[in-house]
A and B are shown apart, each in its own frame.
Chain A
Amino acid sequence: MSKVLVIAEHNGESLNASTAKCVACAAQIDGADIEVVVLGASVAGVAAEAAEIHGVGRVVTIEREENDPAIAAILAPQVAALAADYSHVFGPSTAFGKDLMPRVAALLGVNQISDIMSVEGAHSFKRPIYAGNAIVSVEAPTDSTVVATVRIASYTAAAGGNSAGIESAEITAEIPTHTRFVELQTGSSDRPDLQAAARVVSGGRALGSEENFELIYKLADKIGAAIGSSRAAVDAGYVPPETQVGQTGQIIAPDLYIAIGISGAIQHITGIKDAGTIVAINKDEEAPIFEVSDIGLVGDLFSIVPELTDALG
């Protein structure tokens, strides 16, 4: 019998959508009991949100001052202590989960499965490697805890409407003081979050400058989209790093992805291959982005994008 513990991701105020996606993944394990743990300083609101996720049997809260903001070295020993009661511990393959989960796995003395994209059995899974150029089937040992991150772009968030019980847990764990939070700088943007957005407008090196990215922003704002970018655009300093989509940036699955002036290196494609519809606008008709796009338009982005912005809405 599988009992899955999902680590909630949140910012102290609201639950990140990655949590309901991890629950959706856990629900693929036949007959699994799914529980969510929320670690923070004061998490009643976040726990209530987690209790609404369909498929969750119970929400466990661990509240202590040191848990806010989340620091992997501080959360990991608490998660590892709680994990004793579970067969599986799942977290999202976001920066939060990627940072935390291997630390938990090592404390439990197990290897971790990164980026589950499908569940084949309680201990068998599929995951992408080589920037998504290969998919490997893996089998975890049945006699130790399965610690894994869930490739959230592969899952649709589990529905709401549930009302699971919420209980607080007292965990005995040594909390280190060697790691201290200093600050979080977030882009002061009213635009949707890249991970959660249904629509993403993404720009590449062909934009040519930070100023020219204004074209991308205008189109995005017209259709309520989040901003994405290629590594080349980030490296050139046109856009901040948190916008980067791809193997080493964010892996996303919006309903609509519009790639503008992005040639489509394999490392970029791997970040968008689960998107609903991919639109590519590029002046080079040989650009590899057209191999994977649902709708392609060859031409000069500097005339097409303003025209498209005007035509929409």
Chain B
Amino acid sequence: MEKILVGLKRVVDYNVRVQVKSDGTGVETDGVKMSINPFDEIALEEALRIKERGDASEVIVISIGSSEAQQQLRTGLAMGADRAILVESSSSTDALTVARVFKAIIAKENADLVILGKQAIDDDNSQTGQMLAALWGRPQATFASEVTFAGSTAKVTREVDSGLETLEIDLPAVITVDLRLNEPRYVKLPDIMKAKKKPLETIPLADLGVEAAPQIKETEFKPPEGRQRGVMVNDVAGLVAALKDKGLV
């Protein structure tokens, strides 16, 4: 195949303990470390491996958001992507709009495969890949833990609740990736230097002419109700007694 598109979402880093703002208007992102959504890194790693095996000729990374997302795109280029597209949007973008943006870029680039993370660790939605596949009228293989290609088809093993399901899909298609698909490579310093010279195109969201989607409004953010710390027991006898006391054994 020719081109693989990979989505890179800029999110609060995996290791940050997210705090809700005291006025309930959102979560604190000022001065917080931002990174590529970890699932998207796995998606990019898979695309790079497909290209390195000779099964694809170009890997394009895409992000939608403010100009700050260039950081994540540059990291993607340093990992080995060939070029980057930033679809610039000042407000946060809903999943359906993101799917429509990808569809517009697929048409522009004539892409054969789109690889996305199975969910973003900020909104935990797990929607974009499935929505894109629907709009595109193409197969979706979500939660992938193994992907192999044979001609114009792919076999994808998916992590489902009862075990591992394998689907055969015709290309073009959308694949969303799970944790166990691969381990993303580390970026080396010379690659960061090289990445600065790779093309990064910026397209204003309005220029893609995507239809406005009905918006789900986020009206209030609150911290979760925490569980209370319980009792500590000293030994197995104490544990068994506590379980019996609660009628659990």
Which residues of A line the B interface, CB within 8 A? 11, 71-73, 76, 94-96, 98-107, 109-115, 124, 128-141, 143-144, 176, 178-187, 193-195, 199, 223, 231, 234-235, 240-242, 247-248, 250, 255-256, 266, 273, 276-279, 281, 290-299, 304, 307-308, 311-313
Interchain nearest-CB distance for B51 vs A (Å)? 23
Residues of B within 8 A of A113 (CB): 216
> Interface SS of chain B: helix, strand, loop or mixed?
mixed
Are A71 and B167 closer than 8 Å at their CB atoms?
Answer: yes
Q: Is B126 an interface residue (CB 8 A)?
A: yes
Q: Is B58 an interface residue (CB 8 A)?
A: no
Are A129 and B122 closer than 8 Å at their CB atoms?
Answer: yes
Are A297 and B220 closer than 8 Å at their CB atoms?
Answer: no
Q: Is B187 an interface residue (CB 8 A)?
A: no
Q: Is B54 an interface residue (CB 8 A)?
A: no
Closest residue of chain B to A72 (Cβ to Cβ) is: B140
Given A107-B134, A128-B124, A241-B180, A134 and B18 contact (CB-CB distance below 8 Å)? yes
Are A111 and B96 closer than 8 Å at their CB atoms?
Answer: yes
Interchain nearest-CB distance for A14 vs B (Å)? 12
9 contacts between A and B (CB under 8 A): A102-B131, A102-B134, A105-B127, A111-B95, A133-B17, A241-B159, A242-B159, A247-B124, A248-B118
C-alpha spacing A292/B158, complex, angstroms: 32
C-alpha spacing A304/B238, complex, angstroms: 12
Q: Which 9 A-B pairs have the closest CB atoms?
A: A294-B230, A102-B130, A106-B134, A106-B131, A186-B163, A102-B127, A182-B166, A95-B160, A178-B170
Q: Is B165 an interface residue (CB 8 A)?
A: yes
Are B216 and A295 closer than 8 Å at their CB atoms?
Answer: no
C-alpha spacing A176/B138, complex, angstroms: 9
Are B230 and A296 closer than 8 Å at their CB atoms?
Answer: yes
Residues of A within 8 A of B214 (CB): 109-111, 141, 143-144
CB 8 Å contact bits of B143-169 with A (1 = contact, 0 = none): 101000000000100111111111111
C-alpha spacing A178/B138, complex, angstroms: 7
Are A307 and B122 closer than 8 Å at their CB atoms?
Answer: no
Given A114-B127, A311-B236, A103 and B160 contact (CB-CB distance below 8 Å)? no
Which of A111, A115, A128 lies at the interface centre, i.e. has the most chain B CB atoms within 10 A of its CB? A111
